[in-house]
Structure 1
Amino acid sequence: MIKINYVDHKGTNFEVDATEGETLMSAATNNLVPGIDGDCGGSCACGTCHIIVDENWAHRLSDRNSEEISLLQMTPDFEDNSRLACQIVVTKELNGLVINIPEHQM
């Protein structure tokens, strides 16, 4: 299993076991991580899986596409490392990944 750390705005860490090939959104929703809703089911259409990737990990991820950027720019907590969890596929290289959940998601 691949360990992913979701940290809420209060600093509470939710470490989950993710499976290679699933998205960070499905890993969160399957493990009931608060603040990651995924209302659209992972189709990059709603922005309810907004996360902020820890800067030490951001360079390991693929680039955002224009659709993802458009949705993220509509969120109140948009940052340079903002991503949609539905757009990031879990790989072995992401073991230990730290993700911050923006306050507005809670």
Structure 2
Amino acid sequence: MAKITYITHDEQTFEVEAESGATVMSAAVRNMVPGIEAECGGACACATCHVYVDDAWQETVGKPSPMEEDMLDFAIDVKPGSRLSCQIKVTDALDGLVVRIPEEQA
């Protein structure tokens, strides 16, 4: 299990317990975190689960795959910490992860 903190553009904080093997997106959807729409259900076919990984976590989370980078082209306001939360697998090493949800997804 890992605790993940989601922060909305207006600074609302949602702390979620996520099972190892799940995705950051699926944990958000199961816990009704606003701003994570996940229209494609986690198939990396849209950008409605776009998040900004906190600077302190970017190395642990890793870089996006080429397919994810292609989908991020469809996201609004992509930044250096941008990831699709459907592509981040939860592991024990992500306990404490902090991600921010872009304002455009509010």
Q: Measure, in 1, the Cα distance between the counterparts of 2:74 and 2:47.
A: 8
Aligned to 1:54: 54
Deviation at 1:42, TM superposition (A): 0.5
- Structure 1 Cα separation of the partners of residues 46 and 13 of structure 2: 24
Unmatched tracts of structure 1, length 5 or more: none
Q: Which runs of 4+ in 1 moved over 4 A?
A: none
How many residue pairs get aligned? The number is: 106
Alpha-carbon distance between aligned partners in 2 of 1:60 and 1:104, rounded to the nearest angstrom: 26
Farther off after superposition, 95-104 or 56-65: 56-65
Per the normalisation by structure 2, the TM-score is 0.96
- 1:88 aligned to 2:88? yes
Spell out, residue by residue over 1:6-56, the C-alpha distance to the aligned partner (whole angstroms, 9 max, x if none): 000111110011001100000000000000011111000011100000000
CA contact (8 A) 2:20 2:90 kept: yes
How many Å separate the matches in 1 of 2:76 and 2:19?
30
SS of the residue aligned with 1:10?
coil
Tell me whether 9-18 or 59-68 shows the greater mean CA deviation. Answer: 59-68
The residue identity in structure 2 corresponding to 1:72 is L
Identity %: 48
In the alignment, the residues of structure 2 paired with residue 68 and residue 2 of structure 1 have an alpha-carbon distance, to the nearest angstrom, of 23
Report the equivalent of 2:45.
45
Indicate the RMSD between aligned Cα atoms, in angstroms.
Answer: 0.9
Once residues 31 and 77 of structure 2 are traced to their aligned partners in structure 1, the CA distance between those partners, rounded to angstroms, is 24
Residue 100 of structure 2 corresponds to which residue in structure 1? Answer: 100
Q: Tell me, what secondary structure is at the counterpart of 1:57?
A: helix
Q: 1:36: which partner in 2?
A: 36
